[in-house]
Amino acid sequence: MDNTLLSIGAMKYEVNISELHLIGGFSNNVFECKGADKNFILKFYPSSKYKKDSIKAELDWIKFLLQSGINVTAPLVSADENYLEIIQMDNKEECYVLAFEKAKGNFINVSDKDSWNKDFFSNWGKTLGKIHYLSKKYNPLDKGIKKQEWNKGILFTETFEDVSKVVVRKWEYFIKEIENLPKNTNCYGMIHNDLHQKNFYIYDKEIILFDFGDCEYNWFVYEIAIVLYHAVQTIDENDLQGRKDFARLFIHSFLKGYLPENNLDHYWLSKLPFFLNYRQIFSYIYFVTFLTEEQKNNEKVQSILNGMRTKIKNDIPYLDF
């Protein structure tokens, strides 16, 4: 990102640009700030890619979960006591800057069977079940918050120049099917929308959640599908039986923790395979649309995208179990 922009953003939180260290983000927009007193996270959102209303909704949702006892990284105020800072850029765009506490702990080690096991999967399910239960009661603390519906993101307004017509037709089929699904507070509400194993830390056996940048109103079962979709990726994609066995173990353990916290009708659980396939086509189109040319030309990325495209075109389920 532009150094001038980073410098202005850092100043608003009383640190120097030299104290910012890039740690990731899809747009390389997330930085750890090593301040004098403590470390924290700074996130930069250019208005060309991110909507202000979505960021306000993210902040409100995080504050609600925090107040409700969920382990999330708390948002921090700037030197001017603002949760959201806005920088005017030279090209008349804006950049939104947010700060968060740095989560304690570390990523879960998916290679360690003493950590990555059915007990942990159950705890993960329990955490998500609590969030979905709270979602049923959620009303924005800020009455000016606009509802972020599942089909208002950029993929639903884009013209896909680099996506084949066959894939686009499949995408349109999924959208039509989803639009016809029942929608009420028992099955639909505000969700994290990207709760894979790289969006939380483990600290003292507790799950500390972060990165709510994709939060939106969507079906609860879709979030369960997202969790399963990414958890399965810890097993080699060529090991089909291994993935099936893992998926059975995972979803059984996960729901053992989830269902006591939030009852979800069997009808919705039967939609898991559908939403897994939807996640696959959503991810494929997102990557093709937003990855840079340099990223797309990476041999490993090309192989992954080609495999996803083949599955989508030939209606091969993401996970047949």
Q: What is the pLDDT along the chain (321 residues), one digit of tens a residue?
A: 789 999 999 999 999 999 999 998 777 899 999 766 778 999 999 998 888 999 999 999 999 999 999 999 999 999 999 999 999 988 789 999 999 999 999 999 999 999 999 999 999 999 999 999 999 999 998 888 989 999 988 888 877 888 999 999 999 999 999 999 999 999 999 999 999 999 999 999 999 999 999 999 999 999 999 999 999 999 998 999 999 999 999 999 999 999 999 999 999 999 999 999 999 999 999 999 888 888 888 999 999 999 999 999 999 999 987
SS3 217: strand
| 273 and 156 in a common domain | yes
| 96 and 175 in a common domain | no
Could you list the residue range(s) of the whole structural domain that residue 59 is in? 3-101
- CA-CA-CA-CA torsion for 159, 165, 169, 175, nearest 10 degrees? -30
| 122 and 84 in a common domain | no
Domain's final residue, options 38, 68, 101? 101
| 275 and 219 in a common domain | yes
Evaluate whether residue 122 is within a structural domain.
yes
SS3 46: strand
φ/ψ of 86, rounded to 5, equals -120, 125
| 84 and 134 in a common domain | no
| 46 and 195 in a common domain | no
| 226 and 154 in a common domain | yes
Evaluate whether residue 254 is within a structural domain.
yes
pTM above threshold 0.75? yes
Evaluate whether residue 318 is within a structural domain.
no
How far is it, in rounded angstroms, from Cα 128 to Cα 255? 10
100, 23 in Cβ contact below 8 A? no
Tracing tokens 């609590």 back to the chain, one arrives at 130
| 129 and 96 in a common domain | no
| 126 and 65 in a common domain | no
Number of domains in the chain: 2
| 136 and 39 in a common domain | no
| 212 and 141 in a common domain | yes
178, 278 in Cβ contact below 8 A? yes
251, 272 in Cβ contact below 8 A? yes
222, 282 in Cβ contact below 8 A? no
| 233 and 189 in a common domain | yes
